[in-house]
Amino acid sequence: MSTSPSTQSPSKVGAVIRVTSGNFLEQFDFFLFGFYATYIAAAFFPSGDEFASLMMTFAVFGAGFLMRPLGAIILGAYIDDVGRRKGLIVTLSIMASGTLLIVLVPGYATIGLAAPLLVLLGRLLQGFSAGAELGGVSVYLAEMATPGKKGFYVSWQSASQQISIVVAAALGYGINQWMGASVVADWGWRIPFAVGCIIVPFIFVLRRNLAETEDFKNRTVRPTMKQVFATLLTNWRLVISGMLMVAMTTTAFYLITVYAPTFGKTVLNLSTSDALLVTLLVAVSNFIWLPIGGALSDRIGRKPLLVGMTVLAIATAYPALSYLAAAPTFSRMLVVLLWLSFLYGMYNGAMVVALTEIMPVEVRVAGFSLAYSLATAVFGGFTPAMSTWLIHETGDKAAPGYWMSFAAACALVATLYIYRRAKGAQLSAAV
């Protein structure tokens, strides 16, 4: 029995909302750590040197990304075996456990060294879960997409992250307006984490009602964990190329969202409220450009957008940040980060769906997740730490622009290699 368009459309919209709602929560919890880095540094990593304290906090933030490749392989293979729906419920459970731990851990002054160790454990759980979450959501959206609109559908994986940034930044902005600075530093920063924990049960209900994709149900052969490892090893060049292609996305994203509040407050000496407001507006901008990039890639192809945006990033990232650093103001920070947001949104709208398309179908989640996780571990996750270190070592407040340009150059080379490889494979098949 066929499904009429009138009933098919609402069902697809509902599926998008169910799968991305969980992605929203997982990313909301994950990003809060970066947003409140200065407060977490004071609570769990006290030091007489503000730079050292902040670096320890960002190192723990980055440690979560080191767990992503492991989560990508183990949980990604699990999702490829048991199905998208069951696997995404498991990733949500692990993420919620890590967040709850961070919310409940007393500060260093209360329990000493156990405090930073427990926070580290919470971050490792979050990282392990997130390793397969993005891949699972992206592949689910790709497999349930309407023909010819795959880029548009998959772009909502990243768009849901922007909603989490908006909510997190809005909460932070509100807390800074309603509470005194000392109260926020003491315990107020924990409120957004607690909010994330409170809405977990509602997200569980949504994901429990998530239908399995037809693509997965129609597969008669599902690889074992050993077969997944073997296939990934055989396709190692593709995984590494995918990692480099994702480098642009992860670096730009963490620069303009997670690191932005700290950058605005500690480097540019803007108020916390101004920095959070800029971050909120940037997330709104990301939310707009991502589906546009995905839809445009459906019309003109993935490669033109990927190449065009990386070239622009290489040419403009450092000059744009230099313009901001020369005379830091709220309006300049907003203009510069909105430009970087445009580059990120248009590129990522095409990149995420491209990554689902280049991976072997039998290990689609594991392959996507591993490439994405390696990129966040090597590039994106350490962007706050790398930016802080570059500014400290060079004395140049625009130095993070070098890091973003380098990531964009890696992505450009990888994109050209992947599509040249794909063209060669098509020619060989034709012969």
DSSP secondary structure of 380-406: GGGHHHHHHHHHHHH--TTTHHHHHHH
pLDDT of res. 250: 93
**157, 253 Cβ separation under 8 angstroms:** no
pLDDT of res. 30: 64
Q: How far apart are CA 358 and CA 98, in angstroms?
A: 32
What's the full length of the chain, in residues?
A: 431
pLDDT of res. 430: 38
- Write the pLDDT tens digit of every residue in 289-303: 999 999 999 999 999
Task: Count CB-CB contacts under 10 A for residue 159.
Answer: 24
Intervals of the chain under pLDDT 70 = 1-10, 26-27, 29-31, 34-35, 47-50, 212-213, 219-223, 424-431
Give Cβ neighbours of residue 32 (< 8 Å, ≥ 6 apart). Answer: 168, 192, 193, 196
pLDDT of res. 49: 67
pLDDT of res. 11: 74
pLDDT of res. 351: 95
Q: How far apart are CA 79 and CA 45, in angstroms?
A: 36
Q: Which value, to the nearest 10 degrees, does the dihedral of the CA atoms of residues 27, 29, 35, 36 take? A: -170
Give Cβ neighbours of residue 91 (< 8 Å, ≥ 6 apart). Answer: 22, 26, 71, 75, 129, 130, 132, 133, 136
**Helix ranges, 211-329 (H):** 214-217, 225-234, 236-253, 260-262, 272-300, 302-326
- Write the pLDDT tens digit of every residue in 273-332: 788 788 889 989 999 999 999 999 999 999 999 999 999 999 999 999 999 999 989 999
pTM exceeds 0.85 for this model: no
Q: How far apart are CA 267 and CA 282, in angstroms?
A: 18
352-374 as b/e: b if 16+ CB within 10 A = bbbbbbbbeeebbbbbbbbbbbb
For 13-208+224-430, CATH number? 1.20.1250.20
pLDDT of res. 425: 55
pLDDT of res. 5: 40
Amino acid at 75: L
Q: Side-chain half-sphere of 295: how many Cα atoms within 13 Å?
A: 7
pLDDT of res. 77: 78
